[in-house]
Structure 1
Amino acid sequence: MRDLLGRPADTATLSVTDVDAVLGEVAATTGSGSASRRSELLSDLLSRATAGEQDFLLRLLTGELRQGALEGVMIEAIASATDVPADLVRRAVMFSGDLATTAAAAAAGGQEALLAFGLELGRPVRPMLASPADSLDQAVDGIAEPIVEYKMDGARIQVHRDGDEVHVYTRTLREITRHAAELADLVRGLPCTSVVLDGETLALTDDGRPRPFQETMARFGSTREEQVRALLLRPYFFDCLHLDGTDLLDVPLRSRREALHRVAGEHVIPGEMAPADAAALLESSLDAGHEGVMVKDPDTPYAAGRRGRAWLKVKPSHTLDLVVLAAEWGHGRRTGYLSNLHLGARDPDGGEPIMVGKTFKGLTDELLAWQTRRFPELERGSDDWTVHLRPELVVEIELDGAQTSTRYPGGVALRFARVVRYRPDKDPAEADTIEDVRAMLRG
C-alpha cells in the first residue's frame, strides 16, 4: 500500500461512494493479472486523494485506523439513517453477527428486513455480556430472586448442535470445532436433537482447579496430540438459547435455565437461584480458584452486549501502584497525545523497574493532556513512537489479575489493566514489587 502512494491531490474531490465503488471493484477482481489490476485501481484512488485522505485510506485499509466509532454508536446511526428502532437494529446484529450486513438490510428493507433475522443453527449469535458491579450487595439489590453463579476465568464458548452436526464458537464468533473435539463429542451426546448452549470452557489441573487462562486459549491453536491430551477442556454451560426446535432467547432466564438443566445436567455451571447465602457462593468460587460470581435477573431475555443490570459480575478488586516507564504517541482521536503507558514493578533488589504491561484504558482527556505536558520533562530518550521516561511517576492501576508471560522480563503480565489515578503522594521506592505482581498468578 505504501508503495502505491504518489503525490497527493491538491484539492479534495473524492466522495464516500467513489471510494466504495473502487474498493468494491478491488474486491471483485480475481484471476490472472488480478494483483496488477488491483494495484492499478488503488494507485488511481490514492492519486485522487489529498494528503489527509491518503493517510486515512492507508490506515483504514491496513487495519490501523482508530477513529472512535464504537459499535453502539454505529447501531444508533443505522437506526437514525434508516428510520428504524435501535433495539431492532441491535437484535438483528445479534443474530447476523455482522454490523455491515445488518446496515445493508436496514437500508434496503427497513424494519421488515431486520425482522427477518433470527437464530439459525450453525450461525453463532452475538453473546450477552455482563456489566461490573462494585460489590455483591449492590449486584443483588433490587432483584427478588437473583441467580448467583460462579464467574470462571475460562474461554467463552457457544455450541450449536443440529442432529449429529456440532459447531463450537468463541466469544468473537470464531469457529474452533476442530480444536475442541471433546466439546463437540460431549454436546453430540446430550439428550436432544438440536440445541444452542452458551458457556465457558477451561482446562483443569489434576486436582480440578483451573489452569491459567492462556493455557486454555492455547488449546484453540494447538495441533500437537500430546498437548491435546494433557489439556482436555471441561465445559460449564450457563444458558440455553434453543432446544429441540424452539428458540428461547425471548423467554425469561428462569425458563431458559430450566431447559439448560434438562439438557446439560452435570455440565451446568455451579450456582443457585435465590441462594440463602450469596456471600458463601462467592467465597466458594474464589476458594475453587475462580474469579468471583455472576448475578443475573431471572426475568430478563437474552440480548447481545451489556444490557444494564440483567447480568452483573462481581470480582474482588485488585490494584497495584506501578512506575511509568514510557508512553506511546496516540492514534485516532488521541493523535498528538502521549497515551499508551508502559508500566513497571519495583525490583526489590534495587534495580530498574521491571516492565509488566501496557495500558491506555482509563485515561481521561484531562489525564492525556497532563501526560503530554508532563512527560517530556522526564524524557530520557525517544523514538518515532515512544517517549522513555525517568522512573519517577507512580500510577495506581486496577486489574483483573496477572498471567505468566514471555513477553516481559519479569515473566508475568497484567490482565485488563486500567488507570485509576496518579499517586503524587508516592515515590517509586513505594511502588509494588515484581513479587507482588507474581503473587497474583492464579494457582
Structure 2
Amino acid sequence: MLIADLTRTSAAVAATSGRKAKVTALAECLRAAEPGEAAIVVAYLSGELPQRQIGVGYAALRDVPSPAPTPTLTVREVDAAFTEIGAVSGAGSVARRRELLAALLGRATRPEQDFLIRLLAGELRQGALDGVMAEAIAAAAGVPSAEVRRAVMLRGSLGPVATAALGTGVEGLRAFTLEVGRPIKPMLAASAPSLDDAFGKLKADAAVEWKLDGIRAQLHVSGGETRVFTRTLDEITSRLPEVVAAMAELPVRDAVFDGELIALRPDGRPHPFQVTAARTATRTSKATEPVPLAVFLFDVLHLDGVDLLDAPGADRNAALARVVPEALRMPRAVTGDPARAKEVFDEAVARGHEGVMVKSLDTPYTAGRRGAGWIKVKPRHTLDLVVLAVEWGHGRRQGLLSNLHLGARDPESGGFVMLGKTFKGLTDELLAWQTKRLRELAVREDDWTVHVRPELVVEIAFDGVQRSPRYPGGIALRFARVLRYRPDKTAAEADTIDTVRAVAPVLD
C-alpha cells in the first residue's frame, strides 16, 4: 500500500465530522491493506507510530526537501525508515536522524510530506481515536465491534487486533485472552455531580468506595513474582520495591489486581499528588529517602487460573476479599441508602481524598470504556482536559508559558472542543515545568502562542459552565483553575464534551 492511500484517507476523515463517515473511510483503507500492513496502517491513521518515539523533534521538521513528483513511497518503506531513524544513537545521532528523515521526505509528494510531518509532530487531528478506529476495524473485517473492543482491551493495542481481525476474523480475535504478566486496558468511570445522580443512574444497591488521589496500578502476580503496570500499560516494578513486598504476602499463585498506589503521611492523610507521582516517574531524586507508597486494591481480574472479567462486580469483590486483607483493600460500603453513602463520602473527603466511586454490583469489568457501571463523585467540579496550546506570559511570568488553552474530547468527531483558557492555580514550580514540557510538544508557534501536540492532560477545577459564542462548542468553563497535571493519563482518557455538559448545568 502506498502512503498516498493513507494520505487520501486521512484527508477524507478530517473533512467530515460524522462518526459513521469516518468509520467508512477508514474501513475502506484497511480492506485495501496487504497482509502484514494492517498494524502499521492503523497506527498511522490513529496518529501514532508503532515505534512510539524515534527521536525526531519539532526542529527537525522545519527544513523539508523538495517533494517527489509522483507517489511511490510505500507503507512498509516508511515503517522501515522510522525504525532505522529510531535506532540511531551516540555521537552525531541528531545529524544522522535528520539526514535519514530528509531522505525519506525527499521521496514523498507534497501531500505525503504534509501527512508524514503531521504524523511525526502528533498533529494528525483527523478524529480517528481508538473508539472510531475499533469500529473501522470491525467494519473492514466484517466482525462485531464488541469482539474488536474486547480484543483491544485484552491486547492493549489496536495494531495486533487489526491484523487478527482482517486475517482470521472472530476466531483470531477470540485468541486474545487475559494473560498474567501482560497488562490490559483499565476500566474507566463516568462522572456525576452528586450521589443522588449516581444512584439514580444505577437504580439499585451499589458499592461506595473511597476515591484516592493516587496512581492507578495493575498488579500481576505469577509464581511468587509481582509486576506493576500503570494505567498507560507501562511497567514500573523496579521503582516500587515496597509494593512488590506487600503483594508477596498474599496467598495467591497467579492473579491480576486493579488498585491505587498513594503516598500517605503518618496520620493516614495523603501527601500532595506530586509526591506520589514522583515515585513512579522515570527519574527520581536520590537526594532524599523516597516516600513509600501504600497499596489499596479494589478489583481482581484473574485469580489462580480463573478469569473474572465477565463476573459481576459483587462476585469479583468477594474473590478479592478472600485473598486480600482489609488493610490492603479500598474502604467501601454496599448500600442503597443515600444517607449511608453520604457517610462514606464525607469520611473519604475528611481524610483528604477526592471523593467516592459508586460501583454497580452487577457490571462486568469492561476495560478501556467509560461506562455507567462505575461513577465518580467529587465534592467539586473537576475535569481532566487536554492542553491544545499555551500563550507566553508577561510581567512576572515573562519568558514562561502561562495561559493554557483547554480542550475536551469530542467522541463524535474524535477531535477536541476548546472550553477556554486559564493561567490560574499555577505555582512557580508548575510554570517552570510546563514551559519545558510544552516546548517539547510544540508543533508550531508565533510571537504569542505555542500550539502543541494534544497529549498533556491537566486536571481543572471550575465553578460552572456558561454559554459562549467565542468557542466552537458554544460553552466555556467559569473560573477554571489548574489543580495538577496528570502524566498518568493519556489524551484518550480525558473527559468528553458530553461529560462537561453532564457534570454541571449550562448557565446563560
Matches within 5 A, 1:153-168: 153-168=213-228
User: How far, CA to CA, are the matches of 2:61 and 2:403 in structure 1?
Assistant: 31
Percent pairwise identity: 43
The aligned residue for residue 183 of structure 2 is: 124
Cα distance in 2, alignment partners of residues 100 and 54 from structure 1 = 23
- For this pair of structures, how many residues does the alignment match? 376
**Secondary structure of residue in 1 paired with 2:118:** helix
* 1:360 aligned residue (406, 409, 426): 406
Return the alpha-carbon distance in structure 1 between the equivalents of residues 286 and 65 of structure 2.
51
Structure-1 residue corresponding to 2:329: 268
Task: Sort the Cα spacing of 1:227 and 1:164 in 2 relative to 1 into closer, same or farther, 3 A.
Answer: farther
Match of 2:34 in 1: none
State how far apart, in whole Å, the 2-side matches of 1:53 and 1:343 are: 32
Instruction: Give, in angstroms, the shift of residue 302 of structure 1.
Output: 0.5
Residues 372-393 of structure 1, C-alpha deviation per residue, up to 9 Å, x if partnerless? xxxxxxxxxxxxxxxxxxxxxx
Offset, 1:317? 2.8
The answer on 1:61 being equivalent to 2:124 is: no
The answer to whether the 8 A contact 2:217-2:260 is kept is: yes
Which amino acid is the alignment partner of residue 261 of structure 2? T
Contact 1:158/1:198 (CA < 8 Å) preserved in 2?
yes
CA distance in 2, matches of 1:45, 1:248: 48
Residue 389 of structure 2 is aligned to residue 340 of structure 1: yes
| Structure 1 residue 285 corresponds to structure 2 residue 344 | no
Partner of 2:272: 212
| Pairing of 1:92-171 with structure 2 (within 5 A) | 92-141=151-200, 142-171=202-231
Secondary structure of 2:431's match? coil
Deviations 1:129-150 (A, max 9, x none): 0011122101112432111101
- When the two chains are superposed, the root-mean-square deviation of aligned CA atoms in Å is 4.2
8 A Cα contact 1:250 1:301, kept in partner: yes
Query: Structure 2 stretches of 5 or more lacking a match?
Result: 1-59, 435-456, 470-477, 485-508
Deviation of 1:356 (Å):
6.3
In the TM superposition, residue 47 of structure 1 has moved relative to its aligned partner by 2.5
For 1:420 and 1:97, how far apart are their aligned partners in 2? 35
Number of the residue aligned with 2:239: 179
Runs of 5+ unmatched residues, structure 1: 321-329, 331-338, 372-393, 425-430
Q: Residue 9 of structure 1 corresponds to which residue in structure 2?
A: 68
> Does the alignment pair 1:304 with 2:367?
yes
- Relative to the length of structure 1, the TM-score reads 0.73
CA drift of 1:219 comes to 0.8
Q: Which of the pair has more CA radius of gyration?
A: 1
Which residue of 1 is the match for residue 75 of structure 2? 19
Q: In the TM superposition, what whole-angstrom CA distance separates every residue of 1:198-240 from its partner, at most 9, and x where no partner exists?
A: 01111011211111111101011355556444x1100111101
Amino acid at match of 1:20: R
Q: Are 1:314 and 2:314 matched, yes or no?
A: no
Aligned equivalent of 1:408: 431
Deviation (angstroms), 1:45: 4.0
1:67 maps to amino acid? Q
Deviation at 1:60, TM superposition (A): 1.3
Task: Tell me, yes or no, if the aligned pair for 2:257 and 2:302 is still in contact at 8 Å.
Answer: yes
Counterpart contact for 1:4–1:46, Cα < 8 Å: no
Is the 2:380–2:461 contact (alpha carbons within 8 Å) kept by the matching residues of 1? no
Render the CA deviation track for 1:254-288: whole Å, top value 9, x for unaligned: 00000111112221111111164111111111111
Whole-Å separation in 1 of the counterparts to 2:133 and 2:409? 23
What TM-score do you get using the length of structure 2 for normalisation?
0.64
Among 170, 184, 202, which residue is 2:262 paired with?
202
In the aligned structure 1, how far is the partner of 2:242 from the partner of 2:233? 19
- Offset, 1:402: 5.8
Q: CA deviation at 1:420?
A: 3.5
